[in-house]
Amino acid sequence: MHLAPTTVLLWAWGSLQAFEIVEKENIFQKTPCPAFLMFENAAYLADMSFELPCHCKPEKMTAVVWFYQKHLGSSHTKVLTDFDGRVLTEAAQVRVGSDMLTRFSIRMFSLLVFRAQPEDSGLYFCGTRKGDYFYAYDVDIQNSEGMVATFQDEGQEPFADEYYGHLHVFTTFWEWTPCDRCGVRGEQWRIGLCYLQSPDLSPRYLKAVPDVVSCGSRAVPRKLWTKARDHTPEVLVRSCLVPCEKTKTIREGVLAIVNYVSKVGSRPWVPQVPIQFHQQRLGHGLIISCPGARPEHAVAWDKDRQHLYRTQYLKGVNRSMRVFIDHGNQLHIRFTQLDDRGIYYCWRQGVRVAGFRLGVTSRGRYPASFSDPETRSAVELTLIGYLLITAVFVTIHLCRCCCYLFHCCPNFSP
């Protein structure tokens, strides 16, 4: 009796899917390519991942090639593809600081760059293997090293706008993140990037607002860039409180173990989130990342029952901080101590997702590795010391040789 309505629903669903596919296939037919190549301005914070869609291309083209130039007209151009548009990279496999050629991916004609760095700033072209360009971007990756934090709960205000004649330098803020915790007091923040307004910008660069681009755009003349380069990115932080959503998740394996032990007469401690165990040597540094989190996500950290709020633990709040949270949402522990032992919980987008049980030991072998920042620092300091000693040694002998050649050394013989 219900066969006819079901058939109608399936037919309607299939029609909607077909309509959606047709719309996606015809998007390039409705977006003509500009007759004169322009550059669309886009700005991001360091360590973020971004996507550059190829908004237009000839309908007959089945694959695109992405190119990168540091400056317009540069003789050095990077080709970011295998010439078939099928380069795929998983974001989880990308490490911080790796070369851009290992941090990009091409999916559905769009270029994805993972963990972008300031040196990735430049011009990105979408085109063919013959060098015909369809669309282009002017990408500005702003450094987070000098990022300034403003805490609204303490009455602090963001940077004031700067004016230099016709040049207007200001901060443009993104939307507020969700609350990073639920059920308890949490925090939320918004990132602000440097922008400027001037009538002296290059007309070849597209602007969402007339005469306004990011401070690191290639449209900014050098004389204006020198005035705006000291305007660093900002982050606004404020408190928030939201209730937790009631979700009931039962893991069958854990539940079976609990039921078995309960029959014996004792009930074990069952973690609410997956726990990872790590043993760290005393006095060495440690960096903990939240699984699946990106710099633009709302991420929070707790140690056991202690909440590590950004007002106290954000990088740059205190220069002598041993435990801090960087702008990429990673938790840093410098010179691990015995009281650092415990469980560190990670919140992502208001949900607690993982825990790290940290153990600290003062014994055992710890193999040196150049991937360890402390090992690199020790090697650098040792090399600098040897170079200074060598420079002093060479300088003393050069002075002795000059004195010997020009007979200017004092004679202390009787």
d(CA 356, CA 330): 13
254-264 pLDDT tens trace: 555 545 544 55
Q: Which segment of 167-171, 260-264, 291-295 scores lowest on mean pLDDT?
A: 260-264
pLDDT exceeds 80 at position 275: yes
Encoded tokens for 376: 């690199």
Q: pLDDT band for position 328 (50/70/90)?
A: confident
Q: Which segment of 29-38, 122-131, 201-210, 344-353 scores lowest on mean pLDDT?
A: 29-38
Which residues does 244 contact at the CB level (< 8 Å), separation at least 6? 182, 183, 350
| pLDDT of the residue at 293 | 85
Residue 308 backbone dihedrals phi, psi, to 5 degrees: -95, 90
> In percent, how much of the chain has pLDDT > 90?
34
CATH fold of 272-361, please? Immunoglobulin-like (2.60.40)
pLDDT exceeds 90 at position 4: no
Kindly state the average pLDDT of the residues 102-106.
76
Three-state secondary structure along 40-84?
Answer: EEEEEECCCCEEECCCCCCCCCCCCEEEEECCCCCCCEEECCCCC
Give the three-class secondary structure for 309.
Answer: coil
**Do the domains spanning 39-88+98-142 and 272-361 agree at the CATH topology level?**
yes
Parse the chain into domains and list their residue ranges.
39-88+98-142, 148-242, 272-361
67-102 pLDDT tens trace: 899 888 777 888 887 555 444 444 444 444 445 556
- Write the DSSP string, 386-408: HHHHHHHHHHHHHHHHHHHHHT-
Report the top-level CATH class of 39-88+98-142. Answer: mainly beta
pTM of the model: 0.68
Bridge partners, 163 (sequence order): 168
Rounded CA Rg of the chain: 29
Q: Are 355 and 276 in contact (CB under 8 A)?
A: yes
d(CA 381, CA 406): 38
DSSP code for 202: -
